[in-house]
Amino acid sequence: MDKYLIVRVLYLMIFLSLINAAQAQKPSLVTVPNSEHRVMQSKVAGHTYDVYVHFPVGYAQAAGKKYPVLYVVDGDNDFSPTLEYLGLLMAEYHIPEPLVVAIGDGGLIGTPTNKRNRDFTPTATTAMPGSGGAPAFLGFIEQELMPFVEKNYQADPAQRSLYGYSMGGLFGTYVLFQKPTLFRNILIGSPALGYDKGKVFDFESAYHAKHTALPVHVFIEVGELETPGQKEPYQKLVRLLEARHYQNLDLHTVVIEKVTHLTGKPVTMLKALGWAYTSPHAIF
């Protein structure tokens, strides 16, 4: 046999073996290091929730150490961005790394299975079928999720924070006037305060009728280029909180220049987390 033919045959055999090897390799799922996913069935809310947990660096070697806990709603979307921005803040400002607990709502925002309009809305309206589930969702967080987290993880109950944006910010505002002492920090990004004709302000009125103190650290943001429907209720809330002179309220408000409701989301999370986890609070 011609030696050149032999060489060609050998090259062909090697090529075919490489193709077969490549075809034999199955793709693997992408995983997030130091993280886990749980599915929790809520008896309080009557719904199932995906819960994404991320552990701080060195968590397994720090037995007995308690960590601050950051609860993030819209967890299907915001779990990964939260970890990225915390990493940036840890590198730049040396903030303490919290235990992250992100609560999913059935799928990514905009998909048919997503239930944020159900869980983040304090009141029911015919304009949004299935709305009004915020009381039940808060019940799940307070009565089931938090006890589970604090029993099974190295979580500090005195160092809880809540972050939500848009409809999630509406939920955060509802929590502010329903259970303000549940969290040390309530971080509210571009809240949908105009929902149901601004009914969330009724919760503030009811709270003010019974309390003179609002002992919580609150971050509230809106984008400079947002619509009047977003900016005007934000301004109303800020003026109201300033006029009430609530005792023990640490309020930080931000108008982010040159951003809309959508483009403001990344910078809002970065600013909110930076403010919450610097001590004393740094102005971002």
Percent of the chain whose pLDDT exceeds 90: 82
pTM as predicted: 0.90
CATH no. of 33-277: 3.40.50.1820
Q: According to the model, what pLDDT value does residue 175 have?
A: 99
17 or 244: which carries more pLDDT confidence? 244
pLDDT at 57: 93
Instruction: Return the higher-pLDDT residue of 169 and 111.
Output: 169
Q: How many other C-beta atoms can be found within 10 angstroms of the C-beta atom of residue 84?
A: 12
Determine the pLDDT at residue 279.
87
Q: Domain limits of the chain?
A: 33-277
pLDDT digits (tens, 9 = 90+) for 140-188: 999 999 999 999 999 999 999 999 999 999 999 999 999 999 999 999 9
pLDDT at 210 over 70: yes
Secondary-structure breakdown of the chain: helix, strand, coil percentages, each rounded to the nearest 5: 45, 25, 35
For residue 106, give every residue at least 6 positions away whose Cβ sits within 8 Å of its Cβ, in sequence order, or none.
Answer: 50, 76, 113, 114, 115
Lowest mean pLDDT among 59-68, 71-80, 194-203: 59-68
